[in-house]
Amino acid sequence: MTTRTERTEEIATHATLQAFGNSYLREIDMIEWFIPTEEENIWFGETACRIDVGTIYVLEIRRRSRIGRHEIGRIYRQTSCGWTEEAPLTFIIACCQHLQRLAPGVTDLLYRVLDSHRGMCQVIAHELNEPICPETFLEHEQTVRFGHWFHPTPKSRVGMHDWEQVAYAPEFRNGFQLDYFAVNESLLTEASATDQWISEQMRKQLGSAVALSASERLLPAHPLQVQHLLLQPTVQQLLATNQLRHLGRLGPTYFATSSIRTVLQADRSHMLKFSIPVQVTNSRRVNKRHELTAGLVMRRLAEHISFPDGFSITHDPAYATVQTGADESGFEVIYREAQGDAINVAALVQEPLDQEPSVLAALVLKSKRADQSLPQAARDWFETYIELTLGTLVELYEDYGIALEAHQQNSLIRFEQGRPVSYQFRDNQGYYLARSNKNQLIHLEAALAEAPELFYDESTIKERLTYYMIWNHLAGLIHRFDRDGLLAESTMLEWVGTWCDQKSQILSGRGKDWLEYVRSRPTLPYKANLLTRLHALDELEVSGERVIFIEIDNPLHREVRHANDERTTCLQTTS
C-alpha cells in the first residue's frame, strides 16, 4: 500500500516531469521524434522521443499535443545491454547538467528545478493532509498547487525558507499581520487616482493601536521584505535619525493570493501588492517605479473607455513608497481594489489531485441543461468562454490599441450556474499600448504622456499577445478540456481558427492584423522559459522586460497538417 509520503513524491515528480520535460521538448532542438517499431512498442508505446544529453534517453509519449503539452510517460536510458527504465528525476538532472555545460558559471537551473519539486512536495503534502474544496476567490488563489505549466520550475521560490513558505505562501492558507513603519512625511511619496490613499487607509485601519506625530505617515510592509529593508544602510540611517520608525507587526490579518506578494485583507475590502526578496519563476518580485505610475494612469484612462460587455479591470489605483535616493527603495506598496468571487484561470485548468474532477470539469457539468448532452454543454461553454476572453482582447486592441498580458494568473472568470459570465483582468505589469495610437490615447487621458514605458511597437505587442493569450491562456484551457475528455484538442483548435477568421472579417484595424498574424504564420513566438532560466535572466531587469523568445509550430496555422508530423523513422535499439 502506498504511503502518504510516497503518494506526495509520486504526484510532485510526475508534475515536475511534465513541466520540465515539455519545456525541453518545446525549446531544445537536440531531440528526435519517432514512431517505434512493433517490437519497440513494448517499451516506448506508439510515439516516442529520443534525447541525447551525452547519454541516450527515450521518452514514451502517451499523448502528443499540437499545443505543446505532451503527456510524458516512462523514460528509458540506453545501456550496453539494451534499454533500462530511468527515474524521472535522474533524467531531469542529466538534462540540466547537459544544458548547464552550455552556459557554465551562469545558470542555477538544476537548483531551481529541484527547488520547485521540493516546493510541490510541501504543497501537496499539506493539501493531502488538509484537503479543501475551493469555492471563494481566496480559496481558489490558495490552491494553484502546480503553478505555471509552461514553465520548467513552476514552484521555485528562491529566498523563502520552509517555515516562511508555511507562514506566507498562499497554499498553506495561513493569515498573518503586516509590519508597519512610521515615515516622516518629507520622505513619503504617494499618489492615488481615487480617494483611497494608502497612508490614510492604514491609519484608519490601525486606529488607536499606533501613535504618530503630526509629521508622520503610516506605511505597511510585507514581513518577508522587512528584514531585507532593515539591513539596508540607508534605512538604518533613517531609523537612527528617527525619520523612520519600525512599529512591528500590527493590525488585521491578511492572506496571500496566488502571486505570494499580493495580499488580501481578511474583510476583503482591498489588497496590497508588495516587493519581496523572493525569486519566483523568472524574476525577483519587485514593484518597479514605472509600474506604480502605470496603475494610476490606467485607472484614469479606464474612465474614458467603453469596455466590452462582461469585462472589467481590477485596478491598482494608488501607491506609496519611501524616498531613499534609489530608483526603488524596497518600500513600494500598491493598493489594489477589492476582488469579487472569481476564479483565476491557473486554478481553473490545473491538474486535479488523485481522482477528483478538475475545477473546469465540475463547472461544465454544473452548466449542463437537462436537454443537453455533456459534449453539447462543453461546446457551448467553450464557445462562450472564447467570446468572453479572446473576443474582449481583440476588441480592446482593435478599438483602442490596448493589449493585455492575459496569462492564466492575471485572468479571472466569474461563473453563474457553472457558465462563464464575466472576465476580469489584473496586474499593472501587464499593459501594452500601441505606439501608433499614442496621440489618441493621450487625448483621452493626458497623464499617459508621463508614462512612455506603457507604449510599444505593434510587432512587440503581437509577440506578447500571442504568447500570453494563445500559448499560456488558451492552450491551458484546451489542454484541460482534452484531458478531461470533454472536447478533443483538434476540435477546439479548428473552432478557434474558424472564430478568428469570422471575427477578422468584421474588423479592419489592429485586431484584424493580429488575428491574421496568428492564422497565417507557420510558427508563432513563444517565451522560452527554460532558456530564460538557463541563462539566469530576470525578466524585470532586462530591456523592455523581453527575455528569450523563440518560434515554435503554430497550431492555429490555416495550412497546418492535422497529423502530428512524427518522423516515420524507427530508433535502432541494442539487443
Domain boundary at 336, 351, 366, which? 336
The gap between the terminal CA atoms of the chain, to the nearest Å, is 35
Pick from 131, 9, 25: nearest CA to 75: 25
Q: Can you tell me the distance from the alpha carbon of 451 to that of 11, in angstroms, rounded to the nearest whole number?
A: 45
Asked if 365 contacts 357 with a C-beta cutoff of 8 angstroms, the reply is yes
Query: What pLDDT is attached to residue 506?
Result: 97
Assess whether 444 and 525 both reside in one domain: yes
Query: What pLDDT is attached to residue 355?
Result: 79
**509 pLDDT higher than 60:** yes
Assess whether 188 and 325 both reside in one domain: yes
Mean pLDDT across the stretch 429-439? 95
- What is the residue-averaged pLDDT of the chain? 93
**149 pLDDT higher than 90:** no
Residue 325 lies in a domain: yes
Q: Could you give the angle at the alpha carbon of 296 between the alpha carbons of 142 and 457, nearest 5°?
A: 95
Least confident of 51-60, 94-103, 245-254, 556-565: 556-565
- The CATH number of the domain where 480 resides is what? 1.10.510.40
Residue 206 lies in a domain: yes
**501 pLDDT higher than 50:** yes
Assess whether 410 and 548 both reside in one domain: yes
Assess whether 388 and 534 both reside in one domain: yes
Domain boundary at 336, 361, 390, which? 336
Residue 222 lies in a domain: yes
Cell reading at 536: 539566469
Query: What pLDDT is attached to residue 570?
Result: 31
Residue 29 pLDDT grade (very low, low, confident, very high; cuts 50, 70, 90)? confident
pLDDT in tens, 458-481: 999 999 999 999 999 999 999 999
- For helices 475-483 and 374-400, the axis angle rounded to 10 degrees is 180
Specify the higher pLDDT residue, 539 or 305: 305
Residue 131 lies in a domain: no
Pick from 415, 248, 445: nearest CA to 348: 415
Assess whether 424 and 492 both reside in one domain: yes
Element (H, E) at 12: helix 4-27
Assess whether 330 and 469 both reside in one domain: no
Q: Can you tell me the distance from the alpha carbon of 223 to that of 221, in angstroms, rounded to the nearest whole number?
A: 6
Assess whether 323 and 407 both reside in one domain: no
Query: What pLDDT is attached to residue 575?
Result: 24
Residue 428 lies in a domain: yes
The phi, psi pair for 103, rounded to 5°, reads -135, 60
Residue 187 lies in a domain: yes
Q: Can you tell me the distance from the alpha carbon of 419 to that of 106, in angstroms, rounded to the nearest whole number?
A: 47
Residue labelled with grid coordinates 499600448? 433
Query: What pLDDT is attached to residue 571?
Result: 32
- For helices 510-520 and 458-465, the axis angle rounded to 10 degrees is 60
Mean pLDDT across the stretch 344-349? 97
Number of domains the chain contains: 2
Mean pLDDT across the stretch 228-256? 97
Element (H, E) at 397: helix 374-400
Residue 574 pLDDT grade (very low, low, confident, very high; cuts 50, 70, 90)? very low
Assess whether 268 and 396 both reside in one domain: no
Query: What pLDDT is attached to residue 561?
Result: 52
Element (H, E) at 72: strand 71-79
Residue 161 lies in a domain: no
Residue 125 lies in a domain: no
Asked if 168 contacts 176 with a C-beta cutoff of 8 angstroms, the reply is yes
Residue 546 pLDDT grade (very low, low, confident, very high; cuts 50, 70, 90)? low
- 419-426 and 311-314 as β-strands: parallel, antiparallel, unpaired? parallel
Least confident of 33-42, 78-87, 104-113, 540-549: 540-549
Assess whether 523 and 414 both reside in one domain: yes
Segments forming the whole domain that contains residue 180: 174-336
- Of all residues in the chain, what percent carry a pLDDT higher than 70? 96
Assess whether 297 and 387 both reside in one domain: no
Q: pTM for the complete prediction?
A: 0.93
Assess whether 220 and 269 both reside in one domain: yes
Mean pLDDT across the stretch 154-182? 96
pLDDT in tens, 202-238: 999 999 999 999 999 999 999 999 999 999 999 999 9
**426 pLDDT higher than 90:** yes
Mean pLDDT across the stretch 512-522? 98
Domain boundary at 289, 310, 336, which? 336
Assess whether 367 and 282 both reside in one domain: no
**522 pLDDT higher than 60:** yes
